[in-house]
Amino acid sequence: MNIDNSKVHMGIAHMQFLFKQMLRIRRFEEKCAELYTQEKIRGFLHLYIGEEAVAVGVMQALKAEDAVFATYREHGHALARGLSMDKVMAEMFGKVTGSSRGRGGSMHIFDVEKRFYGGNAIVAGALPLAVGLALANKMQKKNDVVVCFFGEGAVAEGEFHESLNLAQLWQLPILFVCENNGYAMGTALAISESERHIFRKAQSYGLKSHAVDGMNVVEVESAATQYCQRIRKGDGPCLLECNTYRFRGHSMFDTQLYRESDEVEAWKRKGPIMKLQRWLEANGKLSSAELKQIEDQVADEINQSIAFAERSEIEDISDLYLGVYGESES
């Protein structure tokens, strides 16, 4: 495979770090799927399996002050952004120790300390919010970046077009990241978009935009880093289209009538984790002992998060009305 780590001066240690981050998300979500069948996790569960390179790659370009908006498929983004796995797991268990006190569940993970603004389950619902946060940054003369992740399905909503226009019109410090996995639930891109290159839509609004291989974490990181540098300089918004694929169903209910298993298998062979693992191994940078060590560390962290979620309390019913309104400014 072709991994070009020269553009961003990526060291081997960093590549190993990227590998571990992706593996953490993969193993975490595999466990979530199990916990879902055990009914520990309820509601809707949307897995990011196959798409890990996008969140992990983009997060590398961000600083602590930057803000992140994501969708209902956001476990990976939350973990890559540095939220504690304990809190994320507890949220999915609906426990009061969860990142949103258990109120949100899998689709609504929030952690404002990490400047992680959710967890939005209305398709395209977060784009205008992200634009607004970028506007606030600009008004307060901050050059922090706002990143907004969304699927290619969101591109059909009016909010997408309104948001891109506003961002460009007002020259806002925002990076839009389109996770193009080819399907919006069961609707293939080919039957939902007249222009199938999302980056061209962004270009038509005047944004700087191009597409990358979303299965290649190095390529994603490198592109996101260059865009963020641009945005920080005040050169206006950008959109990065990441071509990727979800290996699992849309949610745990999906019977996947709309795609052939051959197609899924073909994409799995291009998987982001496998790809990087092979490269590291081929370059003598990941021995089987090192791999085992990473797997063990990841497994420990996951087991610990489950234990934490299990022993955490559920919220008292008398606190039902908590968090409907806040306190006024004094």
3-class DSSP state of 92:
helix
Q: Which stretch binds ligand TPP (CB under 6 A): 144-152, 236-244, 290-298, 303-311?
A: 144-152
DSSP β-bridge partners for residue 241:
178, 211
Task: Tell me how far apart the alpha carbons of residues 144 and 148 are, in angstroms, rounded to a whole number.
Answer: 13
Among positions 24, 73, 75, 115, the unique one binding ligand TPP when judged by CB under 6 A: 73
Q: Does 25 bind ligand TPP (CB under 6 A)?
A: no
Whether 32 and 84 have beta carbons less than 8 Å apart is answered as: no
Among positions 12, 169, 185, 314, the unique one binding ligand TPP when judged by CB under 6 A: 185
| In the complex, least distance from residue 258 CB atom to ligand TPP, rounded to whole angstroms | 12
Give which of ligand TPP, another protein, none residue 181 binds (C-beta under 5 to 8 Å, depending on kind). ligand TPP
- Amino acid of residue 150: F
Who's near 285: CB < 8 A, 6+ residues apart? 12, 15, 16
Cα atoms in the Cβ-side hemisphere of radius 13 Å centred on 206: 11
The contact set with another protein (CB under 8 A) reads 42-44, 94-95, 102-105, 107-108, 120-125, 153-154, 156-158, 184-188, 191-193, 254-255, 257-258, 314-315, 317, 320-321, 324
Report how many residues bind ligand TPP under the rule CB under 6 A.
Answer: 15
Task: Tell me how far apart the alpha carbons of residues 71 and 112 are, in angstroms, rounded to a whole number.
Answer: 15
The token pair that represents 88 in the structure block: 């994320």
Give which of ligand TPP, another protein, none residue 43 binds (C-beta under 5 to 8 Å, depending on kind). another protein
Q: Which is nearer to ligand TPP, 157 or 290 (CB)?
A: 157
Q: Which stretch binds ligand TPP (CB under 6 A): 179-187, 212-220, 258-266, 306-314?
A: 179-187
DSSP β-bridge partners for residue 240:
177, 210
Among positions 66, 74, 152, 221, the unique one binding ligand TPP when judged by CB under 6 A: 152
Give which of another protein, ligand TPP, none residue 139 binds (C-beta under 5 to 8 Å, depending on kind). none
Task: Tell me how far apart the alpha carbons of residues 266 and 256 are, in angstroms, rounded to a whole number.
Answer: 16
Helices H / strands E in the chain, number of each: 11, 8
Subset of 118-137 contacting ligand TPP (CB under 6 A)? 121-123
3-class DSSP state of 180:
strand
Q: Which is nearer to ligand TPP, 173 or 182 (CB)?
A: 182
Alpha helices in 82-195 (DSSP H): 85-92, 126-139, 158-169
DSSP β-bridge partners for residue 184:
187
Among positions 102, 153, 173, 236, the unique one binding ligand TPP when judged by CB under 6 A: 153
Who's near 167: CB < 8 A, 6+ residues apart? 131, 134, 174, 176, 207, 236, 237
Q: Which stretch binds ligand TPP (CB under 6 A): 148-156, 209-217, 262-270, 273-281?
A: 148-156
| In the complex, least distance from residue 231 CB atom to another protein, rounded to whole angstroms | 27
| In the complex, least distance from residue 114 CB atom to another protein, rounded to whole angstroms | 20
From the number of C-beta atoms within 10 Å of its C-beta (0-12, 13-18, 19+), residue 64 rates as: exposed
Name the closest residue to ligand TPP (Cβ).
Answer: 151
Subset of 190-249 contacting ligand TPP (CB under 6 A)? none
Q: Which is nearer to ligand TPP, 10 or 107 (CB)?
A: 107
**Which single residue is written with the structure tokens 């081997």?**
12
Q: Which is nearer to ligand TPP, 121 or 223 (CB)?
A: 121
Give which of ligand TPP, another protein, none residue 321 binds (C-beta under 5 to 8 Å, depending on kind). another protein
- Amino acid of residue 230: R
Query: How many degrees, rounded to 5, is the angle at CA 185 between CA 183 and CA 190?
Result: 35
Residues near ligand TPP (CB under 6 A) = 73, 121-123, 150-154, 179, 181, 183-185, 250
